[in-house]
Amino acid sequence: MLGFFTRLLADKRAEPADDLLSDLIAVREEGDRLSEDELMSLAFLILFAGYENTVQLIGNAVLALLQHPDQLAALRHNPDQVALAVEEFARFETPGSLAIRRFPVEDVTIAGVTVPAGETVWVSLASANRDPARFPDPDRLDLARDTSGHLALGHGIHYCLGAPLARAETEIAVTALLERFPVLALADGDLRWRRSLRARGLVALPVTYARKNS
Ligand code: HEM
């Protein structure tokens, strides 16, 4: 991937196009605001954050629906509620369960625990999204609930750059799937989750289905 990006960045530098990487290169060359390392790591971040999380969210959303037939029926009945539903999918089965590591610049005390400056902190977004003080009955999937304040796309200055894209992709995917497959159910067999500290998603989601007009 390093080789791929090195070549791609060199190509874009030689022949800028109307795209994100060319714009990032232009920023670097104009005001020296992005170092070569930062440019490379941004390219990696945008590719992986932009691809993996969305795949995970779509898979987790479909699984949640198939495991909650009442919610699936409600969404089929009211497909225009899909945007609200996507927020609940993201809260309920958060695709990036941990935020990127944080390093406090000074000692901080949270709920009686002091985190010394410079230590590593892992913030669990998945846990925050199931906080009963914030979301009543948090382990229940409820597509109609108020999900405001969920942290699936981060918070503050590092709030997800691709949030509108992620939402649009998931809305489109779920809508198209439900439209095309009027009968969709979980196939028999155990579900295998990816072995990853951060990414919460299935290795595969086996389903049985019937197509429209088939
Ligand atoms: C469902 C899909 C997605 C989820 C759940 C998600 C989740 C997140 C979260 C939780 C953060 C904050 C991380 C932190 O504070 O430590 C974040 C940041 C980020 N996301 Fe996403 N993301 C998704 C899709 C995308 C897409 C489609 C793109 C780009 C095309 C993208 C690019 C980024 C970038 C570049 C950051 C870092 C922003 C910064 O540090 O200022 N993400 N994302």
Residue 166 Cβ inside 6 Å of ligand 1? The answer reads: yes
What does the pLDDT look like over 40-96, one tens digit per residue? Answer: 999 999 998 889 999 999 999 999 999 999 999 999 999 999 999 999 999 999 999
Residue ranges covered by each domain of the chain: 35-210
Does the pLDDT at position 28 exceed 60?
yes
Residue 183 Cβ inside 6 Å of ligand 1? The answer reads: no
What is residue 35's predicted lDDT score, i.e. its pLDDT? 81
What is residue 49's predicted lDDT score, i.e. its pLDDT? 87
Distance (angstroms) between ligand 1 centre and the Cα of 46 equals: 8
Kindly state the helix (H) or strand (E) to which residue 122 belongs, with its residue range: none
Extended beta strands in the chain, E state: 108-110, 113-115, 183-186, 207-210
What does the pLDDT look like over 124-148, one tens digit per residue? Answer: 999 999 999 999 999 999 999 999 9
Compute the distance between CA of residue 95 and CA of residue 200 in angstroms, rounded to an integer: 5
DSSP state for residue 148 in the 8-state scheme: T
Which CATH number is associated with domain 35-210? Answer: 1.10.630.10
pTM of the model: 0.90
